[in-house]
């Protein structure tokens, strides 16, 4: 019966979101209603909500804020644009998709999805125009790269929040996430668009959408892609984007390889995401030589841009705690105990169903977390559960997802073509992400 109350709460959440109520308010309202329906005393409901907000934000709010600062510095300094131009020169226009894909991954690490999309979309259009290629052919690699970083890699909100809730090691989550997300980005960002988009044979064209056909007769006609002036050097730009990942990976790998307690503690300190991001900000300020006041203004704007995301995560943490305190997770565990199904598959499935229903990947992941916490253990390490739920939260994006509409409008697509490109791409990443998690679980 309790599961029916949870289902009723999710239906109310869907209704409120469809009515355009702010997701934070929707989650808080549903948290109270669900707690009361599950028989929790009023005071216990409010205590659970407070504890859920505190426990969720306590382990991640500074990571999100510092990550937003790093991303904003990369955006305002021009480092993100510089990475695009460098990779185009390295890969050449004949391999333009690979250049855009790598750009999306590198820019997507410090920047949140929406910010990365807005920063890169004009450059994608410029590249497509200069290379005489359909915009989607160049744009899908960018969208796929940003999507996998959003779903699998800290310091993005979803993975960071899940790692905090599941008490997963951020460094291991990052390393496992990279092992899964890079192949996914290649499959969904390079090979998938080659299957669904027909290239022009010789004559330059404008926009092309959702066509299939043989690309063998494509004759490349490329104009010069002019680089903006006043951008930082390539070295500074790549350090700006990659320094947080470098410190977290260095600390994690060093800690695993070291046997000396003192050295191990040092690497553990470096691998802490807060420390890694602080180091990254200091290095970026030194390298980019931005006037301190301007840099601090950029940092403040970066934090402002994610304020609502943080509040939504906080409200999601409240709903998660209501589910935990009511014992729903234990009921899910009991119901599935007799099934010969991997807990990771169940985590993915719950998140996927919530994503299809609710639209928001972050809300779906946080809502699922309260149900799958008891499933973590032997056969389902916390780090892989983060990635399984993250993969599920990307499944079947459609009309209730803001990302769906952003992609549709920027590329001027019909609904049919948006489903054929964006929705299929997201579903491909989700399903193959699950496969990657299950394969990793076999080996680790």
Tell me the per-residue pLDDT of 92-115, one tens digit each, with 9 for 90 and over: 767 888 888 887 887 777 666 766
Q: Are 149 and 184 in contact (CB under 8 A)?
A: no
Query: In the numeric block, which tokens belong to residue 388?
Result: 């399984």
* pLDDT higher at 415 or 279: 279
In a domain, 360, yes or no: no
pLDDT band at 144 (very low <50, low <70, confident <90, very high): very high
Contact of 407 with 366, CB cutoff 8 Å = no
* Cα dihedral sign, 280-285-290-295: positive
Backbone angles phi, psi at 203, to 5 degrees: -75, 135
Alpha carbons 263 and 269: distance in angstroms, whole number: 10
In a domain, 201, yes or no: yes
In a domain, 6, yes or no: no
Rounded average pLDDT over 403-425: 85
Pick from 188, 184, 250, 208: which is nearest to 435 by CA? 184
The whole-chain average pLDDT of the chain stands at 80
Domain containing residue 144: 61-213+229-305
Q: Is the pLDDT of residue 212 over 60?
A: no
Is 2 a member of any domain?
no
By CB atoms closer than 10 A (0-12, 13-18, 19+), residue 127 is: buried
Q: Do 146 and 104 touch, CB atoms closer than 8 A?
A: yes
Q: What is the pLDDT of residue 378?
A: 74
In 19-60, which residue ranges form alpha helices assigned H by DSSP?
A: 23-37, 42-58
DSSP structure class, residue 233: P
Query: Is residue 372 one of the residues assigned to a domain?
Result: no
Residue 134 domain flag: yes
The pLDDT of residue 228 is 60
Domains identified in the chain, total number: 1
In a domain, 105, yes or no: yes
How confident is the model over 62-76, as a mean pLDDT? 80
Is the Cβ–Cβ distance between 397 and 404 less than 8 Å?
yes
Q: Give per-residue pLDDT as tens, 232-263.
A: 888 888 887 778 778 877 887 888 787 788 88
| Range with the largest mean pLDDT of 251-255, 331-335, 436-440 | 436-440
282 within domain boundaries: yes
């Amino acid at each position: 019966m309790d599961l029916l109350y949870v289902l009723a709460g999710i239906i109310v959440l869907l209704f409120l979101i469809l009515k355009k109520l702010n997701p934070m308010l929707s989650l808080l309202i549903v948290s109270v209603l669900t707690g009361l329906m599950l028989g929790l005393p009023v005071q216990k409901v409010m205590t659970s909500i407070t504890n859920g907000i505190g426990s969720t934000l306590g382990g991640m709010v500074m990571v999100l804020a510092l990550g937003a600062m790093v991303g904003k510095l990369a955006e305002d300094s021009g480092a993100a644009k510089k990475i695009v131009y460098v990779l185009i020169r390295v890969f050449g226009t004949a391999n333009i998709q690979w250049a855009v894909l790598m750009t999306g991954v590198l820019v997507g690490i410090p920047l949140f999805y929406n910010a990365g999309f807005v920063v890169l979309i004009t450059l994608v259009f410029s590249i497509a125009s200069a290379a005489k290629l359909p915009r989607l052919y160049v744009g899908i690699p960018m969208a796929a790269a940003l999507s996998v970083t959003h779903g699998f890699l800290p310091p993005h909100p979803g993975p960071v929040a899940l790692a905090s809730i599941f008490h997963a090691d951020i460094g291991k989550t990052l390393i496992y996430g990279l092992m899964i997300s890079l192949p996914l980005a290649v499959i969904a960002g390079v090979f998938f668009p080659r299957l669904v988009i027909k290239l022009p044979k010789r004559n330059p064209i404008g926009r092309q959408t959702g066509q299939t056909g043989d690309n063998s007769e494509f004759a490349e006609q490329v104009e010069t892609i002019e680089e903006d002036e006043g951008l930082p050097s390539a070295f500074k730009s790549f350090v700006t984007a990659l320094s947080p990942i470098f410190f977290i990976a260095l600390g994690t790998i060093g800690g695993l390889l070291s046997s000396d307690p003192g050295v191990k503690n040092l690497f553990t300190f470096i691998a802490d995401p807060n420390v890694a991001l602080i180091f990254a900000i200091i290095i970026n300020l030194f390298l980019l030589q931005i006037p301190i006041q301007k840099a601090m203004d950029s940092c403040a704007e970066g934090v402002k841009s994610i304020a609502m995301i943080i509040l939504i995560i906080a409200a999601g943490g409240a709903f998660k705690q209501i589910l935990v305190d009511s014992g729903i997770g234990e009921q899910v565990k009991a119901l599935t105990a007799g099934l010969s199904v991997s807990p990771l598959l169940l985590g993915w499935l719950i998140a996927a169903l919530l994503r299809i229903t609710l639209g928001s990947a972050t809300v779906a992941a946080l809502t699922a977390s309260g149900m799958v916490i008891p499933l973590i253990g032997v056969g389902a390490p916390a780090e892989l559960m983060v990635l399984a739920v993250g993969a599920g939260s990307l499944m079947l994006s459609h009309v209730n997802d803001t990302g769906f509409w952003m992609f549709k409008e920027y590329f001027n697509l019909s609904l049919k073509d948006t489903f054929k490109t964006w929705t299929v791409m997201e579903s491909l990443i989700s399903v193959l992400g699950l496969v990657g998690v299950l394969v990793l679980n076999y080996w680790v």
